[in-house]
Amino acid sequence: MVDCVICRIVAGGIPARLVHQDDRAIAFHDINPQAPFHVLVVPRVHIPRLADLDDEALGGHLLGVVRKVAADAGYEENFRIVVNNGDLAGQAVGHLHLHVLAGRRFTWPPG
């Protein structure tokens, strides 16, 4: 059993501001938001990073949840998804999560 902050949130052991939950995924507000709207979409099962995801249906489902949480908050026209995969890419939490950011202008290239 891995000691994982996102598994703990999924299990209800750590409180989070949930915006979506279903049988395969949940979504909740990031504790350190980088935009007015910053939600993490995560699979319920422990998958360390995107490179470990081998379930195409689950990947598609996560993208659908991204669209839903953005639309539910009124941001269906302008939002950004970020998935950090690996240390060099900035991944700090080892459970796959899709950042959904909205509510301000974003620049490119990312830092």
Q: Which is nearer to ligand 5GP, 1 or 57 (CB)?
A: 1
Exposure string over 3-20, b if 16+ CB within 10 A, otherwise e? eeebbebbeeeeebeebe
91 touches ligand 5GP by CB under 6 A = yes
| Total residues interacting with ligand 5GP, rule: CB under 6 A | 13
32 touches ligand 5GP by CB under 6 A = yes
In the complex, least distance from residue 63 CB atom to ligand 5GP, rounded to whole angstroms:
17
**Which contiguous run of DSSP H or E holds residue 42?**
strand 37-43
The catalytic residues are 97
